Amino acid sequence: MSHAVSRLRSLRLAASTKPFLARGSGGGRCAGCRLAASHCVCVLRPQVGARAGMCLIMGDIEALKPSNTGWLIADLVVDTFAFGWSRTQVDPALLALLADPQWQPYLVFPGEYVQAPRLVTDVVLSGRAAAEDVATGGKRPLFVLLDGTWSEARKMFRKSPYLDHLPVLSLHPGQRSAYRLRRSSREDQFCTAEVAALCLELAGEPHAAGALNAWLDVFSAHYLSAKRNLPLDRGSEAHRRLQDLVNLPP
């Protein structure tokens, strides 16, 4: 498998002065899904279409963590781009992407941290349905997600002046996060894959959003089963929901 996050992971590993060893690596991990080989989910990876794009700006070691959910976004959304964040440098490819006329970038971040003129709560598709918007030359939404711990994300938001011109999309999901792989310092915080699914919903792509949420649930079940040495239920509700979704037309 080679997508934007896996390529960034390879670059980050190549630049490391010492190997990165995640917990539980002793039994060997699948290179495709980063899970213990006994709990590999690669054969379950859904194939869905999405017109929206995702731009992940990732904290220093985020791409190396097996629990990172930006990887799951790149599994599903073909137009996913991933860049490592640095306070002093910015990847020219990131600047080129943000300036690409085919995209309308939205920086996704809580509205309490931004002044009203930049704040938006919806995705504009030139007044047309998403498919028609693309067909007539309108811009496609590109969701810029700051992928890291909450403290890392706040630092990226404050210290990335090349993002200051972007509209800030504030999400109001109305439900709690179901993410179980890491603890959060904020009760209202969602993992990166959950945020991406909410963005897909706003972009008029509920099928892709549902598939991403189901993929996250299945991945989480496999991850926790391996971590806690518990039996894996491959016939669980999460597995059935993923199967039902990927058999539906986009």
Confidence tier at 27 by pLDDT (50, 70, 90): low
pLDDT of residue 189: 72
Please say whether the beta carbons of 158 and 148 come within 8 A. Answer: no
pLDDT above 60 for 92: yes
Instruction: Quickly list H helices, 50-171.
Output: 70-76, 92-99, 130-135, 150-158
What radius of gyration do the chain's Cα atoms show? 18
Q: Exposed e or buried b for every residue in 219-233, given b needs 16+ CB within 10 A?
A: bbbbbebbbeeeeee
- pLDDT at position 127 over 50: no
What pTM did the predictor assign? 0.87
Helical pair 206-228 and 237-246, crossing angle rounded to 10 deg? 150
Is 56 within 8 Å of 147 (Cβ atoms)? yes
Cβ partners under 8 Å of residue 205, min gap 6: 50, 51, 52, 130
What 3-state DSSP class applies to 100? coil
Q: How many CA atoms lie within 13 A of 9 on its CB side?
A: 20
Please report, for the chain, the start and end positions of each structural domain, with discontinuous segments joined by +: 45-205
Distance between CA atoms of 93 and 26, rounded to whole angstroms?
A: 36
Q: Residue 21: what pLDDT?
A: 52
One-letter-per-residue 3-state SS of 145-200? EEECCHHHHHHHHHCCHHHCCCCEECCCCCCCCCCCCCCCCCCCCCCHHHHHHHHH
Amino acid residing at 45:
R
Q: Is 205 helix (H, G, I), strand (E, B) or coil?
A: coil
Tokens at 78, concatenated: 């073909």
pLDDT per residue over 220-231, tens digit each?
Answer: 999 999 988 888
Give the closest residue to 197 by CA, choosing from 209, 215, 211, 180. 209
DSSP bridge pairs for 135: none
Burial of 17 (0-12, 13-18, 19+ CB in 10 A): exposed
In this predicted model, what pLDDT tens digit does every residue of 129-188 receive, in sequence order? Answer: 444 444 435 899 999 999 999 999 999 999 999 999 999 999 876 554 454 555 555 555
SS3 108: strand
Digit-coded pLDDT (tens) for 177-220: 454 555 555 555 789 999 999 999 999 999 999 999 999 999 99
